[in-house]
């Protein structure tokens, strides 16, 4: 599974980097379910870059997600890709 995660991570960054204006701000966060059958990728970008990656009517994001999901399915692992801005990530964080 580690190789799969590494391959999908590399794929995501390779596809997204040419689309965005601030590649130095891009972060990829990976979380695994305890059962090991789900891997969640969070692609955190600058607010202006989120729209570029999502694309017109969400077509670019849909294609990116479909390929990542297909790679996971070959190994029997569900793959979820979230694309969000730094601001959205901060809003999700619980306030202590």
User: Rounded CA gap, 37 and 32, in Å?
Assistant: 8
Residue 96 has pLDDT above 60, yes or no: no
Give the range among 27-36, 37-46, 59-68, 87-96 with minimum mean pLDDT.
Answer: 87-96
| Structural domains present in the chain | 2-92 (3.30.300.20)
pLDDT number for residue 88: 86
Mean pLDDT of the chain, nearest integer: 91
Collapse the DSSP code of 64 into the 3-class scheme (helix H, G, I; strand E, B; otherwise coil) and give the result.
Answer: helix
DSSP state of 89: H
Residues 72-83 have a mean pLDDT of 94
Residues 6-30 have a mean pLDDT of 95
Collapse the DSSP code of 3 into the 3-class scheme (helix H, G, I; strand E, B; otherwise coil) and give the result.
Answer: helix
């Amino acid at each position: 599974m580690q190789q799969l995660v590494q391959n999908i991570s590399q794929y995501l960054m390779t596809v997204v980097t040419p689309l965005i204006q601030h590649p130095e701000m891009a972060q990829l966060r990976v979380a695994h379910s305890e059962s090991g059958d789900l891997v969640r990728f969070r692609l955190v970008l600058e607010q202006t870059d989120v729209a570029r990656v999502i694309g017109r009517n969400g077509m670019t994001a849909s294609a990116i997600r479909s390929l990542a999901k297909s790679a996971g399915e070959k190994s029997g692992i569900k793959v979820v890709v979230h694309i969000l801005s730094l601001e959205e990530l901060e809003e999700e964080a619980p306030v202590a």
